[in-house]
Amino acid sequence: MKIIKRSGKEVPFNGEKIVNAIEKANHEVTDDKRLSSEQVQDIEAQVEKLCAALTRAASVEEIQDMVENGLMQSGHYDVARKYITYRYQHNQNRQNNTTDKQILSIIERSNEEVRQENSNKNPTVNSVQRDYMAGEVSKDITRRFLLPPDIVRAHEEGIIHFHDSDYFAQHMHNCCLVNLEDMLQNGTVVSETMIERPKSFYTACNIATQTIAQIASSQYGGQSITLSHLVPFVDVSRQKFRREVREEFEEAGIQASEEQICEVAELRLREEVKHGVQVIQYQVITLMTTNGQAPFITVYMYLDEVPEGQIREDLAMVIEEMLNQRILGVKNEKGVYITPAFPKLIYVLDEDNITPESKYWYLTRLAAKCTAKRMVPDYISAKKMREYKQGDVYPCMGCRSFLTPDTKGLGPNGEHKYYGRFNQGVVTLNLVDVACSSGKDEKKFWELMDERTELCYRALMARHKRLLGTPSDVAPVLWQFGALARLKKGQVIDELLFNNYSTISLGYAGLCECTKYMKGVTHTDPEGKGFALQVMQYLNDKCAKWRADTNISFSLYGTPLESTTYKFAKCLQKRFGIIDGVTDKNYITNSYHVHVTEKIDAFTKLKFESEFQALSPGGAISYVEVPNMSDNLDAVLSVMQYIYDNIMYAELNTKSDYCQKCGYEGEIQIVTDRDGKLIWECPNCGNHDQNTMNVARRTCGYIGTQYWNQGRTQEIKERVLHL
């Protein structure tokens, strides 16, 4: 059995340390108030039993809580008080320097929590360690100087989650839609170097990847680009090749018709498109940003984003190449093709590609094949999005964060504008904690919702105020050279923080468990569903009120919990104990999702969750868990067609793993080791070495490849198939 020390290091459980700590407190009281040796051993045994029952590594803080409870329950209050005082004094001493041990454990690669904090960052790499070290300093500064004590306390207790405090000390925002069109058509500057309008599609792709890396180093969230901003350069290359071919034929004295010239040029063009797409795929994966990982980038593929005619045909050609290359995958160090985490792909379903009779059905079939093999693309229904977003269709920023619809005509000529807009940040409300704190008293529940959402509002305003007064000079590629704006040097970004230009997100988590506690049933039950929808509407109403009061675009956001799901679960168990169906897992459910263990078919799940997705306008995504679908593309297509008619944004979770030791391709399993810890195992050779496996799983809207904490790993293990 293992425990997690305050430094984050994982070590074996040692009951002697508990005995020694109790004995120290024991000797601080008179003989008549002391515990006997047998009583001390009983408390140690009780703590050991409680730790074993957690099915995860307990933290030192949790163990100390258990000791306190054991002393109090045994009636030895004087010893308990001495123990609490001793613990408090040591805690105060630790507060004088909160970061040293954390940083040292990161450098020495012994911090178990950091190892599993981000499923796309390898903490053994120097650049990742450097980012984590800076993050520890930022969190310390944020905790001690930048946030009010009650917000810090609520964050530490898991009542709310103040996201990305490891970047909060800097004046940085979350995620964005890159205005690649402006940067390519009007030129940009990267690292103080002028980049002019590209003269070919290949060059445009190269510029795009360089700017993606710059943008990723200037913010902390995901970014999205659209292929429609790249596709005009396909025809630029086409015209160039036609000129070259014509000149080559003339120099060689070869008589050729215009049709023959165009045919040869088109062959060269297709080769360039292939190389351009390859640049995007490989450079995105191999570029390293300042936070020690590949850029978190989403590529948007929407045919109707460009007019009918040659440019749409060119876009179809680029999409086809993008899908074919992703189906192939990328080679790992063994030379075997595997599933990469990025770029994330989104394919838009619309009238011209959703039925076998439609013009671009061939692309939809190719997308289905890609999903079956590589888990992407994800799917946006243009039909449902128009219903939800006042007629507009546009991508999310990163994995799921959506901008508020443009009703004001933010574009230069009054047109609706989406590219160049961004998100200011997120604070998430733990709905399970609200429910458990109410004791099933609905009146108290809504009173607590008022209190907790007001806390979230103040935390969100802290994020907003941190950005106020930020000069454009902090990130020239974003604010001065077209990615988000064309501000002057020294000009502040304040105008972009109001008037619907950017969003700020109230996140929520655990709607399923919240409903289960309050109503005794999950939200898929009719009685629970009404209550859950009421909660969602309440949160939307809060955002609307804050938006009206401040002219800041607050929006409700279905938080993609990664490491936070484990944190919330541990805090809930600490505060409320184990409650069946509510706090009995090492994770809580993302946003409005049906619980991962609940048996429900894919179509029922998507239809049910669509009602909740409509009430999560700041961002949300639904998924269905499926087996290997490579030999059943018709089933994948059926799900895609159902998505088009029923839900705005959804994905299919397939499995595509590889064991480097034995060459196994398929699904690598999660098993429990002798210490009760969840580990990964090759079903073919029994390999447990994560360094010799390539595992890709959808974590919460995006693919992770660097493994997960014990809470998220348990959630992945317990997922049931929906198809």
Distance CA(67)–CA(58), nearest Å, equals 13
Has 399 been annotated as catalytic? Answer: yes
Give which of 391, 546, 393 is closest to 461, Cα–Cα. Answer: 546
Instruction: Choose the catalytic residue: 183, 317, 397, 536.
Output: 397
Distance CA(6)–CA(59), nearest Å, equals 7
Distance CA(294)–CA(583), nearest Å, equals 35
Residue 142: CB atoms within 10 Å: 22
Has 397 been annotated as catalytic? Answer: yes
Instruction: Choose the catalytic residue: 44, 320, 321, 562.
Output: 562
Distance CA(473)–CA(493), nearest Å, equals 10
Has 401 been annotated as catalytic? Answer: yes
Has 701 been annotated as catalytic? Answer: yes
Q: How many helices (H) and strands (E) does the chain have?
A: 25, 25
Beta strands 223-226; 297-301: pairing state: parallel
Has 694 been annotated as catalytic? Answer: no
Place of tokens 């160039």: 240
**Cα dihedral sign, 109-111-112-114:** negative
Has 414 been annotated as catalytic? Answer: no
Tokens of 90: 């040591």
Residue type, 139: K
Has 557 been annotated as catalytic? Answer: yes
Instruction: Choose the catalytic residue: 70, 222, 420, 701.
Output: 701
Q: Any bridge partners for residue 704, and if so which?
A: 697
Helices marked H in 557-598: 564-576
Beta strands 2-4; 58-59: pairing state: parallel
Instruction: Choose the catalytic residue: 172, 301, 322, 399.
Output: 399
- Percentages helix, strand, coil for the chain, rounded to the nearest 5? 50, 15, 35
Element (H, E) at 67: helix 60-73
State the SS3 of 223-279: EEEEHHHCCHHHHHHHHHHHHHHHHHHHHHCCCCCHHHHHHHHHHHHHHHHHHHHHH
DSSP 213: H
Vertex 192: Cα angle to 191 and 194 (nearest 5): 105
CA of residue 315 relative to chain centroid, distance: 28
Instruction: Choose the catalytic residue: 83, 457, 557, 702.
Output: 557
For residue 493, is it left (φ>0), alpha (ψ between -120 and 50) or beta?
alpha
Instruction: Choose the catalytic residue: 7, 120, 165, 401.
Output: 401
Please return the burial class of 277, using the count of CB atoms within 10 Å of its CB with bins 0-12, 13-18 and 19+. Answer: buried
Residue 677: CB atoms within 10 Å: 16
Instruction: Choose the catalytic residue: 105, 174, 500, 610.
Output: 174
Instruction: Choose the catalytic residue: 423, 438, 502, 553.
Output: 423
Instruction: Choose the catalytic residue: 66, 175, 456, 629.
Output: 175
Q: What is the length of the chain?
A: 723
Residues known to be catalytic: 174-175, 397, 399, 401, 423, 557, 562, 701
